Amino acid sequence: MSHSTNLLTGGQVVSRVLKAHGINTAFSLAGVAHAQVLYAMHDDGFNIVSSRNETATVAAADGYARVSGKVGVAMIVGYQGMPNVLGGVRTAQLACSPVVLLVGLTAAQVAESGDEETNDGLDMIKPFVKWAKAVPAADRIEEYLNAAIRAATSGRPGVAVLGITQSQEAAQVDPSKVTALAPTLAKPAEASSAGIAEAAALLAKAQRPLILTGSGAALSGAAAPLQALANDFGIPVFGHALGRGLVAEDMVHGFPWAFAQVAAKDADVVVVAGMRLTQRIGFGMPPRFNKDATFIQIDIAAEELGRNRPVDLGLAGDAAASLTKLHQALVAAKAPKTSSAWVNAATAGRAERIAELSTAKADGPLHPLRIGAELKDLMPEDAILVVDGADIYNWMSSILRVHRPRSYMDHYPLGSMGVGTPLALGGAAAAREESQETGKPTRTVVLVTGDGAFGFYPAELNSFVLAGLKVICIVANDGAWGTEKNAQLNSRGMTVNCELGFCDYHLMGDVFGCRGEKVVREDELRPALQRAFAADQSTVLNVITDPDAGIERKKDPRLQMVTFEDLQVSLKARHAPSVA
């Protein structure tokens, strides 16, 4: 703190600028590097969430940003922390999460000329983020922090890194030079009127239109126009990543992409709104889609249009603004209303098999689908669902549905195992802040993770407790790296380096101050989940699941929600076997 009431510390400037942007939560690996900022945040009433690993710090800020729609703020020390942070940074960047990472740097005047590190403390991270700069002087902190926030939030959002030294945070700044006013950001761009008219004409003639929504649609706030398009014109909406829940997954208007993707090949006109056509979407190519389907793509980043496959109509613009105009154009044209019955017909075989497995009773280890079946019944519709792992990620994708915007997270697109735990931490922090601001009850956060994935960041259970946050953590324990084990069994009839053993993960909950329970039998699962939902603290449920369930998934296409066969190198033609 400053010794003069007429001056501010650099740390106070940071805190006040963030407050001006409506940010009230920050994530920090303790460290002395940002002491002055932490003091100021404490005085300004921030929710300060501690973490135990630099990647987890950024992943928690990422989770906060995905759920809240605000900028996630993470703070680490640079010299030792930078190598550890890269996984979290890359995950947030690829997920298009607006995150500002404050990195504590060594002051230039004390940097050693013979040190093994370069004298640019940000060089390691620059290739992986949108923007990275160091504050040149304490009286320019506000300018540079606003620039970082603008970089993180403009266009396609991502990670902005701001380097700042301890001396700058402790330095005294003339308050007359600090406005603490959030600068006005540019209005989102809209697609051209001519392009919208062309898109409306194509949709009006479609027999089986389909809209695909990804994180970009969620980031733009496109729920309302998507719901209008689905309700007024019967266009089914398939959600992926943060795009799930923009239209409630009622299996009439809204569907999860992973489950419903088998119907995509029947669509004749496909609108891709704020979604990248990557491997998870089959690159938008056959066999996932009909080779004669008409593609309309809407994206804020013009360079995304036509990537991986040609599109018939590319519309550069904000998803929400463009979809609103598209709905208006369809209303004006009195376009006919279609039906999503073709989606349900295409997915009937999948739904039947999943229902059969999820309701089957087991004498021994329970099928992992039983976890999803019980959660589907017990979770509130506004719950925040986080899924991590491989086999269990696939099973949950087949059965759980998302009903609200910004209510779903997983470890893709990077696929960095383990980040689900800190994502859940950030989601819980965002839920608390929302409750504080609105007076509504705090939304429930449920993390379903595999035993392998859980092992990466289990110390973040301590973060849940220290921050007073409640997360229901369900570890699906099949005693192995299940996907790899079953792939080896399927191809070679043997396994190498895949076994983990049935560890007592629930005891880690006890160690870090959470509730811990082990579930072995079918009749134990529902009561244990009910106790977890009713508890006033975080719970770790160690659920022993059937180790043979994964091999069944490998052999039955109806159970394959996540496929890896349509890699670009497949048959050197981006072609793969169809899904069932």
Give residue 515's pLDDT: 97
Q: Using 50, 70 and 90 to split pLDDT, how confident is the model at 368?
A: very high
- Tell me the CA distances in angstroms from 409 to 165, 260, 428, 445, one per residue in order: 33, 18, 12, 11
- Judged by DSSP in three states, 407 sits in coil
Q: Using 50, 70 and 90 to split pLDDT, how confident is the model at 2?
A: very low
Beta bridge partners of 477: 544
Residue 491 burial (CB count, 10 A): 9
Give residue 119's pLDDT: 58
What is the C-alpha to C-alpha distance for residues 570 and 574, in angstroms, rounded to an integer?
Answer: 5
Question: pLDDT by residue (tens digit) across 5-51?
Answer: 678 999 999 999 999 999 999 999 977 789 999 999 999 999 999 99
- Judged by DSSP in three states, 281 sits in helix
What is the C-alpha to C-alpha distance for residues 383 and 402, in angstroms, rounded to an integer?
Answer: 8
Q: What residue type is 337 in one-letter code?
A: K
Question: pLDDT by residue (tens digit) across 446-483?
Answer: 999 999 999 999 999 999 999 999 999 999 999 998 88
DSSP state of 258: H
Residue of 561, 18, 516, 485 lying closest to 256 (CA atoms): 561
- Judged by DSSP in three states, 75 sits in strand
Backbone region of residue 76 per phi and psi (left: phi > 0; alpha: psi in -120 to 50; beta: other values): beta
Q: Is the Cβ–Cβ distance between 225 and 324 less than 8 Å? A: yes
> Which range (72-86, 184-198, 398-412, 520-534) has the least confidence?
184-198
Residue of 84, 83, 85 lying closest to 74 (CA atoms): 85
The domain spans of the chain are 8-177, 193-343, 360-547
Say yes or no to pLDDT of 227 above 60: yes
Question: Could you tell me which residues come within 8 angstroms of residue 511 by beta carbon, excluding any fewer than 6 positions away?
Answer: 461
What's the sign of the alpha-carbon dihedral 365, 367, 370, 372?
positive
Residue 519 has φ and ψ, to the nearest 5°, of -120, 120
What is the C-alpha to C-alpha distance for residues 92 and 136, in angstroms, rounded to an integer?
Answer: 26
Integer Rg of the chain from CA: 24
Q: Is the Cβ–Cβ distance between 274 and 216 less than 8 Å? A: yes
Q: Using 50, 70 and 90 to split pLDDT, how confident is the model at 361?
A: confident
Any idea which architecture 8-177 has in CATH? 3-Layer(aba) Sandwich (3.40)
Question: pLDDT by residue (tens digit) across 42-72?
Answer: 999 999 999 999 999 999 999 999 999 999 9
Q: Using 50, 70 and 90 to split pLDDT, how confident is the model at 569?
A: very low
For the segment 143-167, the average pLDDT, to the nearest whole number, is: 95
Give residue 120's pLDDT: 74
Give residue 3's pLDDT: 46
Say yes or no to pLDDT of 570 above 60: no
Give residue 184's pLDDT: 75
Give residue 573's pLDDT: 45
**Ordered alpha helix ranges (H), 360-403:** 369-378, 391-399
Question: pLDDT by residue (tens digit) across 265-306?
Answer: 999 999 999 999 998 899 999 889 999 999 999 999 999 999
- Residue linked to tokens 């504050």: 135
What is the C-alpha to C-alpha distance for residues 574 and 206, in angstroms, rounded to an integer?
Answer: 26
Question: pLDDT by residue (tens digit) across 373-409?
Answer: 999 999 999 999 999 999 999 999 999 999 999 999 9
Q: For 250-282, b where at least 16 C-beta lie within 10 A, e where not — what string?
A: ebbbbbbbbbbbbbbbbbebbbbbbbbbbbbbb
Q: Using 50, 70 and 90 to split pLDDT, how confident is the model at 433?
A: very high
Q: Check residues 120 and 569 and name the one with the higher pLDDT.
A: 120
DSSP string, 135-180: -SSGGGHHHHHHHHHHHHHSSS--EEEEEEEHHHHHSEE-GGG---
Q: Using 50, 70 and 90 to split pLDDT, how confident is the model at 492?
A: confident
Q: Chain-wide mean pLDDT for the chain?
A: 92
* Cis amide prior to 287 (ω within 30 degrees): yes
Say yes or no to pLDDT of 106 above 90: no
Same fold, 193-343 and 360-547: yes
Number of H helices, E strands in the chain: 21, 20
Q: Percentage of the chain surpassing pLDDT 90?
A: 79
Which CATH number is 360-547 given? 3.40.50.970
- Tell me the CA distances in angstroms from 327 to 182, 187, 320, 502, one per residue in order: 32, 20, 11, 52
Record the pTM. Answer: 0.94
Residue 498 burial (CB count, 10 A): 18
- Structure tokens belonging to residue 37: 């900022």
Which CATH number is 193-343 given? 3.40.50.1220
Q: What is the distance, to the nearest Å, from the Cα of residue 29 to the centroid of all Cα atoms in its chain?
A: 21
For the segment 526-550, the average pLDDT, to the nearest whole number, is: 96
- Structure tokens belonging to residue 53: 């690993």
Say yes or no to pLDDT of 257 above 90: yes
